[in-house]
Amino acid sequence: MKLQRSLVIVLVLAFAATASAGRTHTKKLTEPMPFGSDILDTGKETDPSDIQADIALLPALAEGVNARVKTFSVGLDPMHEQTAAEWFESLGYRTLTGDVKYVKGYWGGTRAEADPRLGASFCQGAADLAPTQDYDFANWLPVPNVLDELASTYPDAKFLLFESEPGRWLDNVYIKAQEAALRGAKCGCGGDVEDRVDNAKCRLGDEVHFCDVYPCVYERTFTTSAVDPSAWVDTYVRHVKNVKQSLGSRLLVVDMETPQSPIAVSQQIASHLGLSANPEAFALAHPFEPHVLAHVSEHRWLVFWFACVGALGAAILFAPSPFTDGGARFYRDMAERV
């Protein structure tokens, strides 16, 4: 009986450890993850060495992908940028979207973790582009703000611009800006820039906690943290115009104002980046669409593992012990029947 109880205790401890790892490193995504998602742990500083260790190994490229091309998406529509991040990650590209990086999960899926290095340096006054060396694809704020620096630092890189109708863009960015404002307030770094500098955790020149990325990147992009429809739309229109004039043939403008199939968008990107010798076949295999199932699979593997551990524990707990008289008779009777 003592051995039986010991086995149960070991299984319970293993179950608890696995559950803790799952809570720490995984999150089920039922919709595109917003910039400023609560997946990031605001209570811990992010160690750059841990970030680089996770990125060090190149993931395998997906079937039909023949090239790993340094790519930056410099648009300002969060909906299309989130889709792009998930899509490139599904191709095997090391991906940074805002301050979130995608890495392979413990159970065969994908997990999202914090990499605030670029955003934090940008909010301190001068963006440090060194973190972008660790990625094949990067997008979302503050990437669009530093497109000129990226273009000169990576002369062979390619660029994407997903262009939306300004009215629809405003609807999309309004939701994300609200999420960013809540994020900033939660971290104690919300409010206007002049108010935040009084907070020791947010003072310019000091080490800035990655929470201060919210809503700093919005303020520096659009000049205000609160949405000003007229001013923000003007900023968006100017940004699109500037991008088109700055990057020449290195840029692919994907017109999202008119309906396009995911296959058509994928084919355009594949042709521009040279991802495949057969862009048509590539697009059929890899349509441009969200890949939330890749993230959900991490959660499903955890559920499967928990179920297996629970079933094994129950079997050990309720099975007759061979070290008792009754249990010994039970197993002798079973052996005789066989």
Preceding peptide of 322 cis, ω within 30°: no
* Residue listed under structure tokens 């979130």: 100
* Residue listed under structure tokens 């001013």: 231
Which H, E and C letters describe the chain, residue by residue? CHHHHHHHHHHHHHHHHHHHHHHHHCCCCCCCCCCCCCCCCCCCCCCHHHHHHHHCCCCCCCCCCCCCCCEEECCCCHHHHHHHHHHHHHCCCCEEECCEEEEECCCCCEEEEECCHHHHHHHHCCCCCHHHHHCCEEECCCHHHHHHHHHHHCCCCEEEEEECCHHHHHHHHHHHHHHHHHHHHHCCCCCCHHHHCCCHHHCCCCCCCHHHHHHHHHHHHHCCCCCCHHHHHHHHHHHHHHHHHHCHHHEEEEECCCCCCHHHHHHHHHHHHCCCCCHHHHHHHCCCCCCHHHHHHHHHHHHHHHHHHHHHHHHHHHCCCCCCHHHHHHHHHHHHHC
- Identity of the amino acid at 108: G
pLDDT (tens digit, 0 to 9) for every residue of the chain, 338 residues total? Answer: 444 555 545 454 554 544 444 433 333 333 333 333 333 333 444 455 555 555 557 889 999 999 999 999 999 999 999 999 999 999 999 999 998 898 876 666 788 888 888 988 888 778 899 999 999 999 999 999 999 999 999 999 999 999 999 999 999 999 988 887 776 666 555 444 454 444 444 444 445 555 557 777 888 899 887 899 999 999 999 999 999 999 999 999 999 998 899 999 999 999 999 999 999 999 999 999 998 644 444 455 555 655 676 667 666 666 666 666 666 676 666 666 66
Distance CA 73, CA 150 (A): 11
Q: Are 140 and 180 in contact (CB under 8 A)?
A: no
CA dihedral 196, 46, 109, 30 (to 10 degrees): -20
Query: Where do the structural domains in the chain lie, given as residue ranges?
Result: 1-25+304-338, 33-289
Q: Note the pLDDT of residue 94.
A: 95
Q: Note the pLDDT of residue 13.
A: 55
Which among 315, 297, 319 is positioned nearest to 307, based on CA atoms? 315
Distance CA 222, CA 238 (A): 11
- CATH hierarchy code of domain 33-289: 3.40.50
Q: Running DSSP on this structure, what letter comes out for residue 293?
A: H
Distance CA 16, CA 305 (A): 12
| pTM confidence score | 0.71
Q: Note the pLDDT of residue 29.
A: 32
Q: Note the pLDDT of residue 18.
A: 46
Distance CA 203, CA 219 (A): 16
Q: Note the pLDDT of residue 5.
A: 52
Q: Note the pLDDT of residue 156.
A: 97
Distance CA 307, CA 141 (A): 40
Within a 10 A sphere around the Cβ of 168, how many other Cβ atoms? 13
- Identity of the amino acid at 166: P
Q: Note the pLDDT of residue 265.
A: 98
* Residue listed under structure tokens 């811990």: 44
